[in-house]
């Protein structure tokens, strides 16, 4: 019973912090605002998280966990259906990047809290949020790069790793700047971002990079589809 109450309190703090971060940004949200919204005292926040920085990290961690769980569920399902046969590279790429694009284009409060933190992870490579993002990404990305190596056995592992790294950068830039880019280029009919349209364009770009000639000038065998 005590454990249940403790979990409820922790979740209430996370939910309140996420809502406030979405409304005001984490820098402009005070611990007092969070404790009032969660209806807890400061000692409860300190007990569960220790500091505001740790709370910010926990909010980010919760969204990363949900995102990575979805990625792995999709990959597990694809591999189960393949019955031991290699997956198409396009399916692997979409399983990893599709959930992120859909999350980035959603209208929920969790998206409004998550995306600024991802922006920090991109702009401050030595910060705590960046370190958390990198640690989470490395575990899941390793699983996906292994799947790509199985799918493209004649492509050197180092090449797969580098290309996956480039795909991560392209996707992060695309989702962080999609709306501002559309406005800046005055694209007709694109005042808002459609997740599937963005994903279709991104997939074409990412797969073009994945199937590009190797550094030796040769095209990777088994060019992805």
Same domain membership, residue 103 and residue 169: yes
The pTM of the full predicted model, rounded to 2 decimals, is: 0.78
- Residue after which a domain boundary falls, among 10, 25, 50: 50
**Residue 86 placed within a domain:** yes
Q: Of 1-15, 38-52, 62-76, 193-207, which gets the smallest average pLDDT?
A: 1-15
Same domain membership, residue 167 and residue 82: yes
Rounded distance between C-alpha atoms, residue 62 and residue 112, angstroms: 14
pLDDT in tens, 137-191: 677 988 999 999 999 998 999 999 999 989 988 888 888 765 555 444 444 544 4
Say if residue 128's pLDDT is above 50.
Answer: yes
**What phi and psi values does residue 126 have, to the nearest 5 degrees?**
-105, 5
pLDDT in tens, 69-79: 999 999 999 99
**What phi and psi values does residue 94 have, to the nearest 5 degrees?**
-70, -35
Place of tokens 């979990």: 7
**Residue 126 placed within a domain:** yes
Is-contact 20 29, C-beta < 8 A?
yes
C-alpha distances (whole Å) from 43 to each of 21, 54, 203 are 20, 14, 47
- Six-digit token string for 71: 């990625």
Same domain membership, residue 157 and residue 187: yes
Count how many residues are written for the chain: 225
Rounded distance between C-alpha atoms, residue 71 and residue 142, angstroms: 12
Count structural domains, the chain.
Answer: 2
**Residue 219 placed within a domain:** no
pLDDT in tens, 34-65: 999 999 999 999 999 999 988 988 988 888 88
**Residue 223 placed within a domain:** no
Same domain membership, residue 201 and residue 148: yes
What pLDDT is stored for residue 188 in this prediction?
52
Range of the domain at 122: 53-210
């Amino acid at each position: 019973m005590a454990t249940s109450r403790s979990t409820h309190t922790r979740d209430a703090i996370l939910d309140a912090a996420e809502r406030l971060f979405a409304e005001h940004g984490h820098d402009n949200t005070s611990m007092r605002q969070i404790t009032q919204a969660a209806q807890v005292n400061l000692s409860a926040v300190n007990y569960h998280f220790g500091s505001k920085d740790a709370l910010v990290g926990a909010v980010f961690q919760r969204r990363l966990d949900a995102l990575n769980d979805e990625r792995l569920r999709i990959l597990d399902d694809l591999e189960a259906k393949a019955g031991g046969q290699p997956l198409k590279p396009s399916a692997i790429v979409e399983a990893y990047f599709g959930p992120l694009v859909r999350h980035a284009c959603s209208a929920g409060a969790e998206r409004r809290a998550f995306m600024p933190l991802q922006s920090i992870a991109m702009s401050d490579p030595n910060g705590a949020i960046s370190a958390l993002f990198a640690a989470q990404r490395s575990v899941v990305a390793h699983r996906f790069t292994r799947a790509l190596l199985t799918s493209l056995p004649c492509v050197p592992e180092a090449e797969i790793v580098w290309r996956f790294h480039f795909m991560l950068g392209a996707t992060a830039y695309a989702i962080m700047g999609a709306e501002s880019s559309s406005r800046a280029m005055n694209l007709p009919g694109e005042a808002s971002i459609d997740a599937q349209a963005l994903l279709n364009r991104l997939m074409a770009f990412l797969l073009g990079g994945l199937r590009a000639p190797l550094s030796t000038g040769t095209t990777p065998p088994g060019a992805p589809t």
